[in-house]
Amino acid sequence: MPNRKSIPLPAAPHAPPVEAVPAAEPSPQRIEVHIPLSTYLQVACALLCAYAVYVLWPLLLLVFLALFLAVTLNAFVDWLDSKRITHWVSLLLVIGGVGTALGVGMALLIPALINQAANFSHNFPQLRAEVLDQIPVGWGVRNNLAHLLDTANWSAADPWLGHFVSAGGVAINGISEIALVLVIGLYLLIDGAGTYEWLLAFFSPLHRRKLRITGQEISEVIFGYVAGQVITSMLVMIFTYLVLSVLQVPGALTLAILAGILDILPILGFIISTVPAFLLALTVSPKTALIVLILYLAFHVLENYFIVPRVYGKNLRLSTLTVLLGLLVGVLLAGIAGSLAALPLIASYAAIERIWLKPFLRDGVSEKHELQKDEQFGEKD
């Protein structure tokens, strides 16, 4: 058979490449956000509340301090109630005791303070000269102190009148604020429990239970702080008065009251109260001033490491660093009132963390914090 040869087929022509047709761009979609009217109302209410807090901040601070007073006095009312005394009788006994203590204290102290202020005014030029004579001439402290006293022009009548009016205005303002705190505190003592229960009705039963427990623990912290502060301030006043009277330092009673009041400011109060006592002690002798400084320092150490831990008990349980930082923050935010409220608020955080924040923290965080405080301050009663 003849050989059959394969005949090659002609190659198919190459098809032209098909160009990709670009996909049609999606038309932009319109997104509409509908904000309900209630949201606008909530934002407006929040801004209004913030503005009200800003305007009423001084009054709110006074109410906050009055709450401290009411909580402290309420502890005595509860103690009297536990003795099967009628509640209104307990209230009258506590309020009457506070009024009697204030009246007797003012009757005893105000005449003595006025007398010492008059003597200080009369003897000021001599006291100024005696203080400056005890400081070496080349020292910058002496030059600054002399400049401060000379620019005040204490010998002229008009500046004296201006200082008197200014100091009198500050004193009247301070007395009026103290009186307002006292009045608000007494009203809170009488009607505070009913108002508290009325506010709790807005919350669910679970939240009401948590709020009651939180309020009880914070009340214990506040009572421990206020009662402890009253005791330590009284001890400071008694110690200062005895020391300065024995050493015959001028204005012993005034300096003692100043030291007791400034004792509410940890660390800073001690420094502020020491300076005038040291300067007036210089008018007696440098040796007397050195003795006053040493005794002030010794009592400050004794107060911080022996008296305060025993007087305050285990309610606050705050480290020295926490106290200092809390004090500075309170002073920067709200002045003296802020420094008074800072420590109880910080000490109350432990209860807030345990009752409210524990579910949101990692497991064991709250327990570890409590264990650390127990190791540092001892178990809480």
End-to-end CA distance of the chain: 121
Burial 309-320 (b: 16+ CB within 10 A, else e): bebbbebbbbee
**Whole-number pLDDT of residue 331:** 78
pLDDT at residue 44, rounded to an integer:
93
Cα–Cα distance measured from residue 162 to residue 166, given in angstroms and rounded to the nearest whole number: 6
Beta-carbon contacts of residue 335 (< 8 Å; ≥ 6 apart): none
Write the single-letter amino acid at 372.
Answer: Q
CB atoms inside a 10 Å sphere around CB 128: 18
24: left (phi over 0), alpha (psi -120 to 50) or beta: beta
Q: Is the dihedral of CA 224, 226, 227, 231 positive or negative?
A: positive
Write down the pLDDT at residue 93.
95
* Token duo for residue 29: 């979609």
This prediction's pTM: 0.74
Mean pLDDT per 10-residue interval, the chain, length 381 residues: 53 55 62 82 93 88 88 93 92 94 88 80 75 69 65 45 43 73 92 90 92 92 87 93 94 91 81 89 90 94 83 72 79 77 85 88 84 76 59
Q: Which residue has the tokens 């509340």?
A: 49
Is residue 5 classed exposed, middle or buried when 0-12, 13-18 and 19+ CB atoms within 10 A define those classes?
A: exposed
Query: What tokens were used for 216?
Result: 């009880």
